[in-house]
Amino acid sequence: MTAQILDGKATAAEIKSDLTARVAALKEKGVTPGLGTILVGDDPGSQKYVAGKHRDCAQVGIASIQRELSGTATQEEIEAVVRELNEDPACTGYIVQLPLPKGIDENRILELMDPDKDADGLHPMNLGRLVLNEPAPLPCTPNGIITLLRRHGVEIKGAEVVVVGRGVTIGRPMPLLLTRRSENATVTQCHTGTRDLAAHLRRADIIVAAAGSAHLIRPEDVKPGAAVLDVGVSRSAEGKIVGDVHPGVAEVAGWVAPNPGGVGPMTRAQLLVNVVEAAERSVR
């Protein structure tokens, strides 16, 4: 038996169709949501993701604001563009594409953003609001994972979830979302300091693999029927992109999120959700 697919592409399409109606309603009230992106440097991967975000915007009627700086831009130059988007009323939400070039103080840039325009949900103010159970834009990838599980009927309430990794975009916020009263999961966070990862994985009903370690999650460590989401990216010795989950896991798991077509499209959809919700808050 091979696992059922957590179809992020199809689920993202449903979310975008719902957002299209909400954007139309906002426009009737005189508000056009606008997503800004700040891209520094010419990394082809980053260019591709940013292009995808603007394609999504066009689909749902959100205006696009694109700012591009060369890879040699200074801290001051990037901060000037952040200030500009903070002031621009046409820009209701924006992201600074990460990672920024070496030598740039990323946290300083993120703190300078207007938290009410933070489409990634990663501003310190918004991470604080999440801890305090206050309304805030939610981190896109963790929120996308929860929506993906819910829409496929995977039970989160009472589930044993193992999150592998402690990065700022996924690993850290993921348990915060999963342990809200609305989700009620029990979460174990594993990382490179975990003594016996396999022992934790074997008990998990849901595994979120966000470690960036090739094929870290092996079939023999997955409980039959578990839901396994691969959000790790690393490069093999031959230079190929590999996930955290060994392909053999699909023979044991009950559910898997494919890559591509799983969590990636959901991340992009949640970004749009954050932009639309921020615009909706502004008209209330």
Closest CB to ligand GUE among 96 and 197? 96
- Given 97, 205, 221, 244, the catalytic residue: 97
The residues near 134 (Cβ < 8 Å, ≥ 6 apart) are none
What is the nearest approach in angstroms of ligand GUE to the Cβ of residue 87? 20
Closest CB to ligand GUE among 126 and 259? 259
Upstream peptide bond of 99 is cis (omega within 30 degrees of 0) = yes
Closest CB to ligand GUE among 93 and 254? 93
Closest CB to ligand GUE among 224 and 260? 260
What is the nearest approach in angstroms of ligand GUE to the Cβ of residue 266? 8
What is the nearest approach in angstroms of ligand GUE to the Cβ of residue 259? 6
**Does 225 show up as a binding residue in the annotation?**
no
Closest CB to ligand GUE among 49 and 188? 49
Please report, as ranges, the residues that interact with ligand GUE according to CB under 6 A: 48-49, 52, 95-98, 120, 140, 259-261, 264-265, 267-268
Catalytic residue flag (residue 48): no
Closest CB to ligand GUE among 47 and 194? 47
**Does 212 show up as a binding residue in the annotation?**
no
**Does 233 show up as a binding residue in the annotation?**
yes
Catalytic residue flag (residue 120): yes
Q: In the numeric block, which tokens belong to residue 39?
A: 């891209």
- Given 7, 56, 118, 120, the catalytic residue: 120
Upstream peptide bond of 137 is cis (omega within 30 degrees of 0) = no
Reference 11, options 281, 268, 278; nearest CA is 268
What is the nearest approach in angstroms of ligand GUE to the Cβ of residue 258? 8
The half-sphere exposure of 238 on its side-chain side, counting CA atoms within 13 A, is 2
What is the nearest approach in angstroms of ligand GUE to the Cβ of residue 118? 10
What is the nearest approach in angstroms of ligand GUE to the Cβ of residue 218? 22
**Does 30 show up as a binding residue in the annotation?**
no
- Given 53, 56, 244, 270, the catalytic residue: 53
Rounded Cα–Cα distance for residues 175 and 168 (Å): 12
| Residue at shortest CB range from ligand GUE | 264
Annotated binding site for NADP(+): 165-167, 233
Q: Which residues are catalytic?
A: 53, 97, 120
